[in-house]
Amino acid sequence: MFWALAIIVGCGTGSGTETEVSPQRAAATADTLRNCLKIAGGLHSQNKLDAAVDQVYGCYEGHFAPMEPLLRAQNRRATLSLEYGFGRLAVNMGKRRGDPAGEADQLSDRVEAVIASVQPVDAGLPASPATP
């Protein structure tokens, strides 16, 4: 299954109709992605391993893939690491042992950290409030 994700990532979806995701939209998607991965963890805990694996792939395609070009442009290595993380999580969701729900939380944290690193800094705001 990991290889299927690697092929999808390497070849792209080929739709050509993808719109560029803004940093603000990527940040808004982070919570949705986290919830999506929590569902995968819940499915795993119910021993619905195939459904959990499919859920991870769905989370990747539906929530991470659209923001991938933005993240890749800012931090190629981190984006590649996140892609690998999704593949690894999908493989682990298919196994009965381990803690893939915890791994899903860690992956969500990593995605949020990378998204935060691409957020624009508003230069018009003062660094700290002025004291009278």
What are the DSSP calls for 64-131, one per residue? IGGGHHHHHHH-HHHHHHHHHHHHHHHHHHTSSSS-HHHHHHHHHHHHHHHHHHTSPP-TTS-SSPPP
Q: What is the pLDDT of residue 23?
A: 84
Is the whole-model pTM more than 0.85? no
Q: What is the pLDDT of residue 14?
A: 44
Q: How far apart are CA 67 and CA 123, in angstroms?
A: 24
pLDDT one digit per residue (tens) for the chain, 132 residues: 554 444 444 544 444 445 677 888 888 899 999 999 999 999 999 999 999 999 999 999 999 999 999 999 999 999 999 999 999 999 999 999 889 999 999 999 999 999 998 876 554 445 445 444
